[in-house]
Amino acid sequence: MSEITLGIIGSGQLGSMLCQAAKKLNIKTIVISDDAQGPAQNFSDQFIFSKYDDQIMIKDFINKVDVVTFEFENIPLDILKKIDKEKKVLPKPDINKIVQNRKLEKTFVNDLGIKTTEWAFIRSAEDVSKNEKLLPGILKTNTLGYDGHGQFVLNSLDDIKKDWCFTTDYILEKKVNLKKEISVILTRFQNGTISIYSPIENVHENQILKHSKIPAEVNDKIINDALQSAKKIAKHLDYVGTMTVEYFINQNNDLLVNEIAPRVHNSGHLTINAFNVSQFEGHIRAVCDLKIIPPGIICKSAEMINILGKEIEEYRSKTFREGEFFFDYGKKKIKDKRKMGHLTILKK
Ligand code: ADP
Ligand code: MG
């Protein structure tokens, strides 16, 4: 039995899958979450229900764990830093400062010589007018976006509503005529070694991931460039754990970084069934400083379908064939567009 107790901040499906991977490695997990119903409590060894700024509960959490990680990046930075003073938080909190903030994230990526969509920092309607060349574009809140929340399509300057008061910062991105979207998932260990999965091809509907598949149908140059740039990003962030880079491919076959997720990723759920080691196990191994296991695919191809909102009801009563793996996240409330589960289908 391992002596390590891992603290996980957040209790959604990613937290659940991290707990399951930890269990396999005999690592004890303590989840802290501000969601009393978070499904990860069904898989963790202990669950602490608390607001993230509750000093007493956070202290209790810190006292009980050896190392801390998280399932989502939008945790207030000062809280991560406070925890990090006493117990190591991995990936390092300073990385979140960059990737929580679209402006800093895109600047960081561009400074490494890696292309992103064309973008501008926006504080006012006037800033949008000055950047009319980016229209049609997408106005995104500079912080706190996920699954398309905080995004507004602007086809022309007329779409800026008179009552918008720009109380928060935004970035405006040129709308890319997408040929494909891919993601690269890697795990970087504490000694700097990296294990990496081949690119995964993703389809989004209404800005939410709907479908992922491997192998991605893209040319070798794109595969190589995507793997190299993801590794470069991880190295320059001095990243520890599993990390994801989302890419756009435009009609000219240019590879553009969309965003970095400092965590395990929805597109990587198929790694649970399609590989000898999942993105979750890789993450646990890296943050707990265990041995690296290079990922090896154990099927010919795989696809993953996200099950959103009410769709889950139909899946709950379905029977599945060999090679089909249904995951029900066990969320109590069904909400429109909420990620309720997924199905992975392997082809041998
Ligand atoms: P989130 O943080 O919500 O994941 P993203 O910036 O990744 O936000 O956007 C979600 C999805 O919306 C993308 O995967 C893509 O399908 C679409 N999208 C976002 N930005 C653009 C863009 N500039 N051009 C074309 N499609 C975009
Ligand atoms: Mg995204």
Residue 220 belongs to domain with CATH number:
3.30.470.20
Asked if residue 85 and residue 194 are part of one domain, the reply reads: no
Q: Identify the domain boundary among 89, 105, 132.
A: 89
Asked if residue 275 and residue 156 are part of one domain, the reply reads: no
Predicted local confidence at residue 1, as pLDDT = 52
Tokens 């405006």 sit at which residue?
Answer: 172
Q: What is the CA radius of gyration of the chain?
A: 20
Asked if residue 159 and residue 204 are part of one domain, the reply reads: no
Q: Identify the domain boundary among 155, 174, 193.
A: 174
From 122, 207, 246, give the residue whose CB has the most ligand 1 atoms within 8 Å, as the site to mutate. Answer: 207
- pLDDT by residue for the chain (348 residues), tens only, comes to 568 999 999 999 999 999 999 999 999 999 999 999 999 999 999 999 999 999 999 999 999 999 999 999 889 999 999 999 999 999 999 999 999 999 999 999 999 999 999 999 999 999 999 999 999 999 999 998 777 788 989 999 989 877 777 888 999 999 999 999 999 999 999 999 999 999 999 999 998 999 999 999 999 999 999 999 999 999 999 999 999 999 999 999 999 999 999 999 999 999 999 999 999 999 999 999 999 999 999 999 999 999 999 999 999 999 999 999 999 999 999 999 999 999 999 998
Query: Looking at the domain assignment, is residue 96 inside a domain?
Result: no
Do the beta carbons of residue 58 and residue 35 sit within 8 Å?
no
Q: Give 148 Cα–ligand 1 centroid separation in angstroms.
A: 7
For residue 54, the domain's CATH number is 3.40.50.20
> How far from 256 is each of 177, 182, 213, 227, 247, CA to CA, in Å?
12, 10, 19, 13, 5
Query: Is the preceding peptide bond at 215 cis, omega within 30 degrees of 0?
Result: yes
Predicted local confidence at residue 150, as pLDDT = 83
Asked if residue 164 and residue 56 are part of one domain, the reply reads: no
Cα separation, 245 vs 238, in Å, equals: 15
Q: Give 324 Cα–ligand 1 centroid separation in angstroms.
A: 29
The minimum-distance atom of ligand 1 relative to the CA of 145 is 2
Cα separation, 154 vs 158, in Å, equals: 8
Ligand with smallest separation from the Cα of 151: 1
The minimum-distance atom of ligand 1 relative to the CA of 137 is 23
What is the residue range of 36's domain? 5-89
> What's the number of domains the chain is made of?
3
Asked if residue 332 and residue 284 are part of one domain, the reply reads: yes
